[in-house]
Chain A
Amino acid sequence: MKTYIFITIIFALLAVHITANAQVTAAKEVTAKAEVLAPLKINSATVMDFGRLYSLADGYSVTLVPSGATDSRTSDKPADVPTVTDETIKLAVLEIEGAANNKYVIAPPATSVDLSGSNGSSMTLGDFKAYTTTGNPITAATTIDGTGKSSFKLGATLTLGKTQAAGTYEGTFEVKVTYE
């Protein structure tokens, strides 16, 4: 809304200015052009879910990565992390709304956040990375489609401590998007 107000004022003053000018010199038509973009919005974000992980004597880290359109997780100690099947392993999916065919850049959290457990313990979540919904790393600006929509995935690395206390852990993080 702020954008609209300011732009209206500019136009009004430009118009006045041209008229005044015409009183002393030859009139010249000036074209003023401005493009007003619909504000970028992040419409929804789904929960990033690491699923179930084993508490082990040694600490380890688990990274959520897309493999194609599906999501999976990798560990720095794969032999120690047996497969727990029927898991809900998901990268976060963020849905963007903005001006069709414009580009935006994604700023995942630059610092780590804590996931807090129902048991009072915590784990560190960091190294956030953005991916396309088809699983490719996003390294440049993303183009909003013709209907004004776009979405992307976010993965991250979770670090488990030694014999991490069993329980459910949750935390939040902030993602920013900006028109390029």
Chain B
Amino acid sequence: MKTIKFFAIAALFLGFSVNAMAQTNPPVSATASAGARIITPLSIVNTDEQSLEFGNIVASLAGGTVTVAPGATTATYSGVAAPAGLEGTIRSAKFTVTGDGSSTYSVLIAQETALTSGSHTMNLSDFTNNSNKVLEEGTETFEVGATLNVGAEQAAGTYLGSFKVTVAYE
């Protein structure tokens, strides 16, 4: 009888133990977090339609260059010159970038572009800009200058062209 009793007790506890074992393998969980930052796409506009202007230039036999720096209202001449007192309007182009907060961005400008007057052309090259490439409260304004390459005995005329400024988040 004693044996049976012990058996019964043992069996009972074994039964419990199986349950207990089953409980010891519960899933263990952890909380992880996720984050994202949504930003408004960058946009760029030619502020007040302020274009890059080289003013009036007198052609020369050998040709030369006229350089306008970002933010400048005067030009640097080499090999060619402006008619004295008739320099005309000289200015760099102005752009406003808008986007996200204080993001940094890159500025990309074409290497070279042609200005044309009828069948005549002049090359515009060596673009420079005074952008800090960092937005402040979502905006920054910067200016773009370049060097105009005036050919030997460049034909008279009004030369026009365009160039593309691309900005991208970094």
Contacts and interface: CB of A to CB of B under 8 A. Distances in A.
Contacts of B28: 39-42, 176-178
A84 interface: yes
B147 to A, nearest CB: 29
Interface residues on A, range: 35 or more
Interface string A142-180: 000000000000101010100011111111111111110
Contacts of A17: 6-7, 9-10
Given A17-B7, A42-B29, A176-B29, A55 B34 contact: no
B31 A45 contact: yes
Nearest to B16: A6
B41 interface: yes
B86 interface: no
B37 A167 contact: yes
A9 B13 contact: yes
Interface residues on B, range: 35 or more
A115 B34 CA distance: 7
Contacts of A169: 35-38
A137 interface: no
Contacts of B3: 20-21, 23-24
Interface of A: 2-3, 6-7, 9-10, 13-14, 16-17, 20-21, 23-24, 39-42, 45-56, 62, 82-86, 92, 94, 107, 113, 115, 117, 123, 125, 154, 156, 158, 160, 164-179
